[in-house]
Structure 1
Amino acid sequence: MPDLPSRSRPSSVLVLAVAGAVTVANIYFPQPLLAAIARGLAVSDRTAGLVATAAQLGYALGILLLVPLADTARLRRLTRVLLAVTSAALLVAATAPNVLVLAVATLALSTTTVLPQILTPVAAALAGPERRGRVVGVIGLGLTLGSTLSRTVSGAVSDATGSWRTAYAVAAVTTAGLLWVLPRALPERLGGPDTRPVPYGRMLAGLPGLLVAHRALRVSALRGAGVFAAYSVFWAALVFHLAAPPLGYGPGAAGLFGLLTVPAALASAYAGPLTDRYGADRVQPVALACVGLALAVAGLAPVSPVALVAAAGLVVLGTSACQVANQARVLGLGRAVAARVNTVFMLATFAGGALGSLTAAGLYGAYGWRAALLAAAGFLVVAVTPTGRERRPRLAGRAAGARLGVPVRAPRRETRCRSPHPSTSPPSPTST
């Protein structure tokens, strides 16, 4: 099989999208179960909320320590190891005797279920610059559907069996099933045949150099962290809000909210083609406005199921569209560092998610629904930052990057004349 064909096949992209949906579900399916976990393990809602926080922290840890390996490692071998460890950790969580064991198992499984952030750079490299946003949008759609529908499935399984543990067992079997499918759809390596291997320690040490070298990455990291923190506050608090009076819904109803946001998830896929055409800086303000509108609707009508469903859909639409635009921007920085720039971006994003989950667990228990929404709005303000114009890295930044194994593009000379023959593969409008 060629290392990376110049154009991706639809079947390969579909396999990657489905695999991303299945694996990312491991992070989100426990959320509708938090109230049931609190009752089953005889702990408070706030303590049970630490399970969701452990999932976000573990995912961020896995992104930092494991995703950079995809730039140089053998992808098929790496994939098999991650899937096997994740499946085993899910089985441990299913049999956890107390919340401490459950939190530790959740931390472990979320650390190794980072395949979505390996598959996205692979898909972007397969697509090429002219279709990068579109393919990232398809993968992003898979991740959005996985994160939203997993809540529905886990809630339904919990209601049907009367135990939250069954949902963990189902997730373990589903994740293990990918061992026979996913590795065959991957190239042997992400980088080209002339890519020089970088020692692991040097690779990790070079991650800050990427932020120094690329303003596009800094902007995307800040926006990703802010919007995903708001997303996590909303969903983590919503579970407790739906279970509390006067609504009083169970895990199944909480999971149903995920199913009702599927149209919004499908609509978010259009952010990819729009990013290819107009650029990330034009797509993101609209996406962030959707999240802001959602928080306003949820705050004005806190006990209206219709208003809450509409708010949930807007949160999914806005967050997913912002994510697609951000990733298309950073993955345009070069195939040689695709996994590493995605590492930096997603590390910031899920660190924001972990902070959001922790904030929701504390604020909702102490002050209620509207306080959690105000916190989400505060995180959203962080994401709404001016971008200015992209600047090419300074020479000092390039030299530092070279020492740490961070390839940085050399600056081009600015000319007043343009070629009368446009390139067939125009550079990304957000590349540096």
Structure 2
Amino acid sequence: MPNARRGTIPVFATATAVTVSNIYFTQPLLEQIARSFHISAAAAGLVATAGQIGYALGIVAIVPLADGAKLRRLSAVLLAVTALALVAGAFAPSIALLSMAALVLSATTVLPQVIMPTAVSMAAKGQAGRVLGAVGTALTMGALVSRSVSGVLAQATGTWRSGFLLAAVATAAMLLILPRYMPAGTGRKAETLSYPRLLGSLPGLFRRYAPLRLSAALGGLVFAAFSGFWATLAFHLTQAPIGLGSAVVGLFGIAAIPGALAARYSGRMADGWGPTAVNAVSLVSVALALAMFLIAGDSLVALLIGCNLLGYGTTSGQIANQVRIFTAGPEVRARLNTLYMFSVFAGGAIGTAVASALFASWGWAGVVGSGFGFLGLAVVILAVHTRKTRGNEMRQPAVAGQPAPVLEDRAVR
């Protein structure tokens, strides 16, 4: 990264992992939370759902500022508010107040979506995929490892509240490090836009950029399947015939690390082969994971393998989707990422809610069935896009000596 101080990418990756973990560390704790407040599994699932809804709202209200705000100040404020909300969650006396704390802390822990367009803007030309591969892998790692740490900590301490306190400490620690590595501002013309104008431009950008619409649809549907699985896994593993404790449930996050690490190379694949090819690989990987969950859902080995396939497919798809949108509109990267990530986490919230409801009625088969439903829609959308793109390429042959146009990365103006 020629425009950054040494160590920027490791710091960005660490900050991404720490902050994104604030959304997911509660998932292995849901069974303990349900027992603590004497509520049903579906009611406890409101904590995870509130977290994803809050994250989506924060993306819409806060991430556009990365196209115009002072990035150092923005990152410091977000980290401070998130740490305070985590402390509030640790001492919440009811499920309603805990869900409210989850909503607030998730709305302000959107730094990963500020960091990503910032990192791409600081990267050398043609290296966007590699940079996103590193930061995007850290995002998935944070989501996975946080589940493991919180599960083990809850088992050791006997309370789910310890996970909130640890997350508050980790978030506060990043407050001392990250702002020093962020650029003072974006350095782009968008800095002159007022906040209302930044927000007001969002609907028009969604209409204007076809690559954004494609990435948003694929990202939201795949993440719905991903979120539904992780939101209900703790209940599946703690019930008969498996019957594991929360510490062992949390270890599934660590076991899924190889899949997340493998996805790092998807950035290079996207740079070389294009995002559509990586999207196809992503969907195949998710399909294989769901098939294993359906056929051998009570086998720990099958679940572990499926976790890695699901993590690889989800992370690879997200990297491909973001390469597509950041290439389509460099001057509005943060706002394109706002719309994309809002779609992704709205999909995650829907997936969590649907899977939780189906698990209560139909058990594990209902969760897997919902995953296949979301995946099927994604396959249809990618197939239609691929067919249209090939048709356009056939009607617009390349000029001699020049490559054919990459229509999937072209903005519809």
> Fold-level match, TM-score > 0.5?
yes
Give the TM bin, normalised by the shorter chain.
Answer: over 0.9
Contact persistence 2:267–2:319 (CA under 8 A):
yes
Q: Which moves more between the two structures, 121-130 or 107-116?
A: 121-130
Indicate the SS of the match to 2:409: coil
Once the two structures are superposed, residues 228-264 of structure 1 have per-residue CA deviations (whole angstroms, 9 ceiling, x without a partner) of: 0010111112111001111111211111100000111
How has the CA–CA distance of structure 1 residues 9 and 328 changed in structure 2, closer, same or farther, with 3 Å as cutoff?
farther
1:280–1:430: 8 Å Cα contact kept in structure 2?
Answer: no
Do the aligned partners of residues 335 and 188 (structure 1) sit closer, same or farther apart at CA in structure 2, a change above 3 Å counting? Answer: farther
Partner of 1:416: 399
Question: Residue in 2 aligned with 1:153?
Answer: 149
Instruction: Name the CA distance, whole Å, in 1 between partners of 2:251 and 2:99.
Output: 25
Percent of matched pairs sharing the same residue: 46
* Residue aligning to 1:132: 128
Q: Does 1:240 align with 2:261?
A: no
Q: Name the residue aligned to 1:24.
A: 20
**Cα distance in 1 between the residues matched to 2:165 and 2:289:** 34
Is 1:164 matched with 2:129? no
- Write out aligned runs for 1:16-415 (5 A): 16-192=12-188, 194-195=189-190, 197-384=192-379, 385=381, 386-388=384-386
Q: Is the 8 A contact 2:141 2:257 kept in 1?
A: yes
Q: Deviations over 1:22-50 (max 9, x none)?
A: 00000000000000111111111110011
Quick check: 1:430 aligned with 2:409?
Answer: yes
**Cα drift, residue 431 of structure 1:** 4.1
Deviation at 1:198, TM superposition (A): 1.5
CA deviation vs aligned residue, 1:48-76 (integer Å, no higher than 9, x gap): 01100000000000001000011000001
Q: Is the 8 A contact 2:389 2:407 kept in 1?
A: no
Q: Which residue of 1 is the match for residue 393 of structure 2?
A: none
Aligned counterpart, 1:410: none
Q: Would the aligned equivalents of 1:129 and 1:332 in 2 still touch at CA under 8 Å?
A: no
Unaligned runs of 5+ in 2: 391-395
- Partner SS, residue 146 of structure 1: helix
Taking structure 1 as the reference length, the TM-score comes to 0.89
Tell me how far apart the structure 2 counterparts of residues 190 and 153 of structure 1 sit (CA, whole Å).
35
Structure number with higher helix proportion: 2
2:385 match: secondary structure: coil
Is residue 25–residue 146 contact of structure 1 (8 Å, CA) maintained in 2?
yes
Distance change >3 Å, CA 10–CA 218, structure 1 → 2 = farther
In structure 2, distance between residues paired with 1:214 and 1:9: 33
| 1:430 Cα deviation after fit | 2.5
The residue number in structure 2 matching 1:408 is: none
Question: 1:6·1:126 contact (CA, 8 Å) conserved in 2?
Answer: yes
Q: For residues 332-356 of structure 1, what are the alpha-carbon distances to aligned partners after superposition, in whole Å with 9 as ceiling and x for unaligned?
A: 1233211000000000000000001
Distance in 2 separating the partners of 1:9 and 1:135: 15
* Cα deviation code 1:303-348 (max 9, x no counterpart): 1110111111111010000001001111112332110000000000
Residues 55-101 of structure 1 show CA distances to partners (whole Å, capped at 9, x for unaligned) of 00000000010000110000011111111100000000000111011
Instruction: Give yes or no for contact 1:279–1:430 (8 Å, CA) kept in 2.
Output: no
Q: Secondary structure at the match of 1:147?
A: helix
2:126 and 2:6 map into 1 onto residues whose CA distance is 15
Aligned length: 401
Output the CA distance in 1 between the equivalents of 2:14 and 2:325. 23
CA–CA distance in structure 2, aligned partners of residues 319 and 289 of structure 1: 11
Q: Offset at 1:382?
A: 1.8
Change (3 A) 1:251 1:353: same
Q: Distance in 2 between matches of 1:428 and 1:83?
A: 39
**Contact 1:136–1:324 under 8 Å retained in 2:** yes
The C-alpha deviation readout for 1:1-25, integer Å capped at 9, x for no partner, is xxxx755566111110100000000
- The 8 Å contact of residues 232 and 356 in structure 1, kept in 2 or not, is answered as yes
CA distance in 1, matches of 2:163, 2:85: 13
- The answer as to whether partners of 2:78 and 2:108 remain within 8 angstroms in 1 is yes
Contact 1:71 1:191 in 2 (8 A): no
- Asked if structure 1 preserves the Cα contact closer than 8 Å seen for 2:220 and 2:347, the reply is yes
Q: Can you give the 5+ residue segments of structure 1 that lack an aligned partner in the other structure?
A: 392-412
Decide which moves more: 160-169 or 203-212: 203-212
1:158–1:196 distance in 2 versus 1, CA, 3 Å: closer
Output one character per residue of 1:347-398: Cα deviation in whole Å (capped at 9) or x when no partner: 000000000111111110111101111011101112221224569xxxxxxx
Separation (CA, whole Å) in 2 of partners of 1:380 and 1:202:
36
Cα RMSD after superposing both structures: 2.0
